[in-house]
Amino acid sequence: MPLTLAIHPITEIRFAERFLLDGTVVFVDIDELRRLVVEDSAIASVDFQIARPGESCRAGPVFDIVEPRAKSPGGSPDWPGILGAPETAGHGTTHILEGAAVTVLREQSPGESRGATGYVLEMSGEAAAGSRYAKLQHLIVIIRTRDDLAMHARQKAYRLAQMKVAVRLARAAMDAAPEKTQVFDIAGGEDRSALPRVAYVGQIFSRQRKPEPEEQIIYGADTDGMVPTLLHPNEWLDGAVVTSYHTSIGGAETYFYQNNPVVAELYRRHQAREINFVGTVATIASADNCDRERNCHYAANLVKWALRADAAVLTKFGGGVPHTDLSETARLLECSGIKTAVQVTDLARDHRVESALLFNFPEVDAIVCIGGNSTHWQLPAVQRVIAANCGLAELLAGPFEIEAHNVIGVGNQQGASRLRSMVY
């Protein structure tokens, strides 16, 4: 199932009277985008702004960040299960505006899930240096939904609008020649029998809470009742999986499902003939011990018997409960003769090593720490704040102190982080 990524680098977004890709500049017709977004009766109005790298600018609270992508005819649909039919993602040609992002803001503070500020997008300063998002050109989408909507309906409207805007933006590149292309495919006629067979196990949700009504996570469905599921690596990269509405401990924005660092690195080693990348398992963290035993054994058995892997890389979604499920799945794999490497984050608020130690299995001894929440920054006042209302804008104007994980992009469970925890 080959997937071709047609990559168009973007260095600037500009508003204009029509959509056009001119070199590395994408021109955006916001009147057309506005008409597209307000087709949804849940949305009362929408505004658009641009945030650029190095600008004295802060935006928030962030709902999600997506890379603009659009499918050429003849392949899988755009965002299957959300914009298109829930057909298999991951084949055909996908046009990408690399260096650009569509960033949707919340209308209200998320409150207890991430504090009053929610996730904050920093475009300059010390905190911005810790986030890959600070290097992107952001089309910020500020949505105002109808007052009578429940929260889950508002969030569904955010998601639908974001996907529609991202696809329309990327379609500006459909007739342009890409600067480069990348082809991803784990199939091939060459003999790989001498290479280690490696799988990826990635959590996409935690049952610490129930999915929202109509929450779209995998092919437009929620994860209620889900058991571990085999996915082709290309499905991760091409819109089959999006983040939950609540990335409260996540660092799991949709942008880094589209650009999943683990899948990309395993593909790189596959193409270099260092490993045989045999497939992936999408799983979820449990609600209780019985659920944990079921899911961990199920995931481990898929890796062992369906993928026949010699080794596996595991990542989590969330905090302590997902951490425990991750370690138990790794332990089961190690006990069945499959080598593992796990990625973990230190979320202990007291900054003590003892508090960060959630498991201690001698078998699970390849552990990569991909960041933590021990860093705080004093954010300065900025020249421009982008928010959905005056109250949020005043809250975000600064100066104020913020934890690392509240700066979007600093904490990243897939490994796209720039900070790591150290003992000294």
Give how far Cα 168 sits from Cα of 13, 23, 80, 102, 171, Å. Answer: 14, 18, 16, 11, 5
pTM of the predicted model as reported, rounded to 2 decimal places = 0.94
CA dihedral of residues 339, 343, 349, 350 (deg, nearest 10): 50
* Number of domains making up the chain: 2
Indicate if 200 and 169 belong to the same structural domain: no
At 398 the pLDDT is 85
| Helix-, strand-, coil-residue percentages of the chain, each rounded to 5 | 25, 30, 45
Q: Which of 157, 180, 203 represents a domain boundary (last residue)?
A: 180
**How many other C-beta atoms lie within 10 A of the C-beta of residue 390?**
9
Q: Which of 127, 162, 180 represents a domain boundary (last residue)?
A: 180
Asked if residue 419 belongs to a domain, the reply is no
Indicate if 188 and 176 belong to the same structural domain: no
Measured over the CA atoms of residue 149, residue 153, residue 156 and residue 160, the dihedral's sign is negative
What is the span of the domain harbouring residue 175? 3-180
Closest of 3, 5, 8 to residue 177, by C-alpha: 8
Closest of 165, 3, 32, 11 to residue 95, by C-alpha: 3
Indicate if 219 and 324 belong to the same structural domain: yes
At 208 the pLDDT is 76
Indicate if 172 and 196 belong to the same structural domain: no
Could you give the CA distance from residue 245 to residue 240 in angstroms, rounded to a whole number?
A: 16
At 410 the pLDDT is 87
Could you give the CA distance from residue 417 to residue 262 in angstroms, rounded to a whole number?
A: 12
Asked if residue 52 belongs to a domain, the reply is yes
Q: pLDDT per position in the chain (424 positions), as tens?
A: 999 999 999 999 999 999 999 999 999 999 999 999 999 999 999 999 999 999 999 999 999 999 999 999 999 999 999 999 999 999 999 999 999 999 999 998 776 555 668 899 999 999 999 899 999 999 999 999 999 999 999 999 999 999 999 999 999 999 999 999 999 999 876 789 899 999 999 999 988 777 888 899 999 999 888 999 999 999 999 999 999 887 655 557 999 999 999 999 999 999 999 999 999 999 999 888 899 999 999 999 999 999 999 999 999 987 778 888 999 999 999 999 999 999 887 666 666 655 556 677 889 998 888 776 668 899 999 999 999 999 999 999 989 999 888 899 988 888 887 776 666 5
Indicate if 214 and 194 belong to the same structural domain: yes
At 422 the pLDDT is 62
Residue-level length of the chain = 424
Q: In 208-317, which ranges are E strands?
A: 229-231, 276-285, 311-315
Indicate if 118 and 197 belong to the same structural domain: no
Asked if residue 114 belongs to a domain, the reply is yes
At 322 the pLDDT is 87
Indicate if 43 and 119 belong to the same structural domain: yes
Could you give the CA distance from residue 299 to residue 283 in angstroms, rounded to a whole number?
A: 7
Give how far Cα 182 sits from Cα of 3, 7, 162, 167, 335, Å. Answer: 8, 8, 25, 19, 37
At 416 the pLDDT is 82
Asked if residue 421 belongs to a domain, the reply is no
Q: Which of 150, 180, 210 represents a domain boundary (last residue)?
A: 180
Q: In this structure, which amino acid lies at residue 332?
A: L
Asked if residue 319 belongs to a domain, the reply is yes
Burial per residue of 67-82, b for 16 or more beta-carbon CB atoms within 10 angstroms, e otherwise: bbbbbeeebbbbbbbb
Asked if residue 308 belongs to a domain, the reply is yes
Indicate if 113 and 132 belong to the same structural domain: yes
Indicate if 174 and 221 belong to the same structural domain: no
